[in-house]
Each structure stands twice: as structure tokens, then as C-alpha cells.
């Protein structure tokens, strides 16, 4: 089931550390390559020799135990398909939430760009502490999966929520996420993001409030699902896939035309300007004597509609998904747009709300398909919404 997959397990200093021995055994039985990182305190609860024998790999503990030219925290992050931290103490959870990298495990977590699962275990009062709750919320907002602790008798003598969830639940989560990492394997996904910029003169331009975060979240999720990803964006992002930086609507159209013939899925998440200035001025425009200025605008190409028309006469027929941002009559306007554009799916955003959409870390959307179907995705972080969108269109 897990042949060819490397599972990276981080163990922190909690009494539940001994339970991870059984998890390693089950993962090895499923043919996974298991690598273990321990915090120094974890070795107070389980021995390095035990973990080495079960995983059949060296157990990493020291930050600067570099055997090859690559720093160990980078090489471990690069070679793993998924990272699991179990049990995760309140201390380690807090460090990861704030990007603190003061030991090998937290350094690897900071460098890890693929799917991460965290299974906390701690005293019930610690779990209910507001600081820990906020840190858990932060991790979830980044797309990290949290397997919440269970109620029960705790080693400290308390009874409450804090004990490590079942090994079966952890094992099943690993299997589910490995399957998830293969959903788009072999497919090329092209995604646009950000608001295009239409220059007026050397110092002024027309644009919009799009942050590009939704498109970036879609690109990250597609990468995690095994796709070859190309992000065409007006924003500055660093990511482990191809990024094409563009500026105007015409630039974006040219980049899409270049990638079209090799694409399997195209997602138009960018906010493309409808108009551009007819005549760009090489010099800064000066104030006029009557205190007004007139700009003549011409319509930009309808990139989404153009892609759908191009597909009709092309051997390559990628799945095409559009986005629409509406401030009123969201569903009615979206239905009209999907009919006019000819795309397979349309993601409708309500930009009248300040808690979602432009600039926000969260979103809430409705997916419309060309056959009249609709699915609403309730408010969640953009990374979660991105995952749900991709899972839906891949069904």
C-alpha cells in the first residue's frame, strides 16, 4: 500500500511516545520507508535503539549531524512524501506555529513544504489553554492537519481531553493523505493568480485588490496532489514549481497560450482587468488646467472565454475552471457567466463580505458546473478551500 513512499515521523517528549512504536510497525508492514526524528526529550520515553530496529533506519536527533553535503534538516524534508509529528507536545506545536527552529525536528518542520499531520498529546488544561488553541488554529490555517487528542485518563492523573488519538486513526490519516498525493499524478495544472496591472504612464496604473492568495493556495494543493504545476501570477511567490511572473492581461494571455497545448487543467483564479488604457504615455501625465483628466479605455481580451473557444478546435482539451467575483446577486450572475464563457466549472466569490475574498486568509465559495450542478464550500482557510475545489473537480 505504501511501497515507494517515505514517511517522516517526528516524536517529541511525551509519555505517548512509546505508542509510536506500533505505528512504525504498521507502516513498515505496508512497505513504507519510515524515517524517525526525535527531540532529545523524546528519548526519555522511548529508546533510539528500539526506533532504529523498528524503522530499519538511523534515528535522527542532533541538529548538525551532517553525513553528506546537504544539511540534514533539508535532506530529510526533501526526501519525505509526508511528515507526521506524534505525539506533539504543546511546546513543539507552539514552536512550529511561530517558525522557531531550535532543534532538528522543528528545523525540518520549518523546511517541510509537503503535507504535514500533527497528533497532539498533553495535559487537558494545556490543550484548553488559549495560547495552544491559537497555535492550533494557526497551523490549521496553513493546511496542516490536526488529529485532535481524545478524552480519557491521562498519565498525569487527570481525566479529560489530551491523550493521543488512536494509532489506527493516525495510520488511516497517513494512508488517506498518501492517496491524496496521487490524485493529480501525471497531470499538468496551470493556475493564474493576482490582479493584472494595466499601465497608464511610468508611475500610474489600473489594477484591483486581488492578493493572489487563492490562486497560490490552489497551486500548492495541486502540487501536494502530485500534479506538475505552473503558476502564472502578477505577485511575488516562492514555491517548488514553475512560476511565470506577468503584469498585464495581455502578458497573462500570452503565457496561457504558451502553456495551453500541454495542460490538463487550467484554473483562472486571477482577477483580470476588463479594460486597459488605449494609449500608454511614455512620460508622466501632467495635471490639466480644468482639474480633470480623461482616460480612454479599450477592452482587454476575455481570456477565459478565449481559452474555452480555443479548446473546441484543439486536440488538447483541458478542463477549464473560471472564477467570478461578485458584489451582488452572486449565484444569478455566476450562472450567466458560466453560460457565456463555456468553462467546465465556475467558482463564485462574494466580494461584498470583508471576512472572505480579496486579501483575506479565508474564503467561502460556490462551485457551479456546466450541467447546472452547484456545491457550496463553507468558510474555511484558502488552503482548505483550494483542496476541496481540486477534490471536487477531480471526482
Residues with active-site annotation: 156
Cβ-contact 333, 325 below 8 angstroms: no
Count CB neighbours of 232 within 10 A: 28
Sequence-separated contacts (24+) of 297-303 with Cβ below 8 Å: 299/274, 299/275, 300/196, 300/198, 300/249, 300/250, 300/272, 300/273, 300/274, 300/275, 300/276, 301/249, 301/250, 301/253, 302/341, 303/249, 303/252, 303/253, 303/256, 303/268, 303/272
**CB distance 6 to 37 below 8 Å:** no
Report the candidate in 6, 140, 2 with the shortest Cα–Cα distance to residue 78.
Answer: 6
Q: What is the DSSP string of 268-280?
A: E-SB--SEEESS-
> Smallest Cα–Cα separation from 170: which of 3, 4, 34?
34
Query: DSSP string covering 157-185, please?
Result: S-EEEEEPPPHHHHHHHHHHHHHHTTTTT
Contact 24, 51 (CB under 8 A): yes
Q: Name residues whose C-beta falls within 8 Å of residue 263's C-beta, 6 or more positions apart in sequence.
A: 188, 189, 190, 230, 316, 318
Q: What are the residues facing 10 on neighbouring strands?
A: 37, 85
Nearest to 172 by CA among 27, 10, 37: 27
**DSSP states of 169-228:** HHHHHHHHHHHHTTTTTT-EEEEEESB--EEEETTEEE-----SHHHHHHHHHHHHTT-E
Measured CA to CA in angstroms, residue 342 lies from 153, 173, 268, 311, 339 at distances of 58, 38, 13, 10, 6
Give the Cα separation of 99 and 300 in Å (integer). Answer: 42
Amino acid at each position: 500500500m505504501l511501497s515507494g513512499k517515505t514517511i517522516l515521523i517526528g516524536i517529541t517528549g511525551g509519555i505517548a511516545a512509546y505508542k509510536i512504536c506500533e505505528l512504525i510497525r504498521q507502516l513498515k508492514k505496508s512497505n513504507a520507508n519510515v524515517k524517525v526524528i526525535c527531540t532529545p526529550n523524546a528519548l526519555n520515553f522511548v529508546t533510539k535503539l528500539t526506533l532504529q530496529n523498528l524503522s530499519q533506519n538511523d534515528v535522527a536527533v542532533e541538529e548538525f549531524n551532517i553525513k553528506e553535503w546537504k544539511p540534514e534538516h533539508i535532506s530529510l524534508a526533501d526526501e519525505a512524501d509526508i511528515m507526521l509529528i506524534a505525539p506533539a507536545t504543546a511546546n513543539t506545536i507552539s514552536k512550529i506555529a511561530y517558525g522557531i527552529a531550535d532543534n532538528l525536528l522543528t528545523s525540518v518542520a520549518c523546511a517541510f513544504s509537503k503535507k504535514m499531520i500533527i497528533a497532539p498529546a498533553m495535559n487537558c488544561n494545556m490543550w484548553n489553554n488559549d495560547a495552544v488553541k491559537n497555535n492550533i488554529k494557526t497551523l490549521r490555517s496553513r493546511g496542516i492537519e490536526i488529529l485532535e487528542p481524545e478524552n480519557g485518563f491521562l498519565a498525569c492523573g487527570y481525566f479529560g481531553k489530551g491523550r493521543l488519538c488512536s494509532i489506527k486513526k493516525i495510520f488511516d490519516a497517513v494512508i488517506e493523505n498518501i492517496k491524496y498525493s496521487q490524485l493529480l499524478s501525471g497531470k499538468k495544472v496551470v493556475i493564474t493568480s493576482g490582479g493584472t496591472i494595466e499601465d497608464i504612464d511610468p508611475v500610474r496604473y489600473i489594477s484591483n485588490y486581488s492578493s493572489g492568495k487563492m490562486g497560490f493556495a490552489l497551486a500548492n494543493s495541486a502540487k501536494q496532489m502530485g500534479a506538475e504545476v505552473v503558476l502564472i501570477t502578477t505577485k511575488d511567490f516562492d514555491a517548488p514549481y514553475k512560476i511565470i511572473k506577468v503584469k498585464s492581461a495581455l502578458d497573462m494571455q500570452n503565457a496561457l497560450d504558451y502553456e495551453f497545448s500541454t495542460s490538463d487543467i487550467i484554473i483562472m483564479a486571477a482577477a483580470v482587468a476588463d479594460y486597459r488604457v488605449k494609449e500608454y504615455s511614455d512620460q508622466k501625465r501632467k495635471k490639466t488646467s480644468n482639474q480633470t483628466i480623461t482616460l480612454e479605455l479599450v477592452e482587454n481580451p476575455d481570456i477565459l472565454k478565449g481559452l474555452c473557444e480555443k479548446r473546441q478546435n484543439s486536440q488538447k482539451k483541458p478542463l477549464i475552471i473560471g472564477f467570478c467575483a461578485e458584489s451582488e446577486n452572486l449565484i444569478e450572475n455566476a450562472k450567466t457567466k458560466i453560460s457565456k464563457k463555456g468553462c467546465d466549472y465556475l467558482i463564485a466569490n462574494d466580494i461584498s463580505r470583508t471576512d472572505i475574498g480579496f486579501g483575506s486568509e479565508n474564503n467561502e465559495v460556490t462551485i457551479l458546473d456546466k450541467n447546472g450542478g452547484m456545491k457550496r464550500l463553507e468558510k474555511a482557510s484558502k488552503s482548505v478551500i483550494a483542496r476541496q475545489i481540486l477534490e471536487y473537480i477531480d471526482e
